[in-house]
Amino acid sequence: MESQLVTLSSSLLFAAFIIYLVAMVPLATSIKSKSKKPGQISIVMVIIGFILSLSYFILRWIAQGHAPVSNMYEFITMFAIMMIAGFLITYFYFKTQLFGLFALPVAMLLMAYGSMFSREVEPLIPALQSNWLAIHVITVTLSYGILSMSAVAGLIYLLKSVPSDEKSWRARFLESIMALIIIVIAYIGTTILMQSIIGYQDDFYYTDKQGQTQIAEYHLPSLVNYEDAIPVENVGDNNYEEADHFHSGINLPPIINSQSLNTVIWAVLAGLVLYGIIRLAIRKRITALIKPWTDRADLNLMDEIGYRSVIIGFPLFALGGIFFAAIWAQIAWSRFWGWDPKETWAFITFMFYTIFLHLRLNRGYEGEKSAWLAIIGFLLILFNLIAINLLVSGLHSYA
């Protein structure tokens, strides 16, 4: 029964992903059309997809007996669901469909990214066996979803206000954001190709920072590896023997997750190559391709949405990411705060949005300045999600 519910929940999430993908067609049509029907169709489809996403969450919770927020797959999926929720809240309050054209692709990228991690149902380790886990993570992902809307508003604002052919730092920085998005797409595409389609795998013995021997599975050729890593091959029944795998010879201490860093390096290389090919093909900046979709954007409305999203999302992040997290840390590790890498970055994110609101309210940082700050804030969230979670070993490494 448990496995059937897990399978059903995964099928519902996949169906939601397909619906979101198809909804992009009427949504894009509505931006250029004078008719309201395409926009209405797209919103109905997004609502149906969101209901299916929530159904995934509920069924998986029932199947495993605890909230599905305890590993990377579940956390990232929850983040994507909350981003869809943020879009729907924004739409029904401000009646702007343009948001969906930018929010939905990011949410779908997150869902695709999350699907690359293990979806197996596993018992919780002792540190996670607390109701505060669900309270903490759900509140944090909800705040992420709302804060993401400020970044979407900021991106739309900048795409409309910054000329794509302008030779300035702001035009170049905006183009670099487009390049970053392409790198993320390359990251997901490369991993799916090598892991799921080609089935590439090299195994290495290594010693983690606790002194225990572990197996690292590489699905891309090893450009970086752990100190004293030994290439091995699985000969069945969890037995390994030494093998001859490609290894560049660059070794890093176990505090760095070399396996994930290797994937990120390959993604950056693949993304830069893909970006270069696109630039050569279109012979202009990528922002010039996207800019026409923002012609109807109301800059004052985008500025207001960006500000209101931070006003709502920031207190939620402070509550879930700092206050609830401290309570859970006291229960799990007998201390409220320990400067673990993820705790440190949560504090940095908290301080950034504190400064954001200070500059907005007391220094007049509105319009373009506010848009840049909103995007930087979202980049901090993504850095916490990808770099801190995957590359740096800490008490939150399981998350």
Which tens digit of pLDDT belongs to each residue from 101-156? 889 998 988 888 888 777 777 777 766 677 888 888 899 999 999 999 999 999 99
pLDDT of 399 reads 47
Query: Which distant-in-sequence residues (6+ apart) come within 8 Å of 368 by Cβ?
Result: 157, 158, 161, 162, 170
**Phi, psi (5° rounding) for residue 222?**
-75, 105
pLDDT of 332 reads 72
* pLDDT surpassing 80 at residue 334: no
* Confidence band of 337 (pLDDT split at 50, 70, 90): confident
d(CA 135, CA 155): 30
pLDDT of 200 reads 87
b/e string for 233-255 if b means 16 or more Cβ within 10 A? eeeeeeebeeeebebeeeebebe
Residue type, 51: I
d(CA 232, CA 38): 55
- Look over the chain and give the mean of its residue pLDDT values, rounded to a whole number: 86
d(CA 12, CA 136): 25
Contact 217/259 with Cβ under 8 angstroms?
Answer: yes
pLDDT of 386 reads 75
Which of 32-36, 84-88, 281-285 has the least mean pLDDT? 32-36
Question: pTM value?
Answer: 0.86
User: To the nearest 10°, the Cα dihedral for 295, 298, 299, 301?
Assistant: -150
pLDDT of 21 reads 92
pLDDT tens-digit map of 149-208:
999 999 999 999 998 888 888 999 899 988 888 887 887 788 778 877 888 888 888 887
Pairing of strands 247-252, 222-226: parallel
Winning range, highest mean pLDDT, from 199-208, 214-223, 257-266, 370-379: 370-379
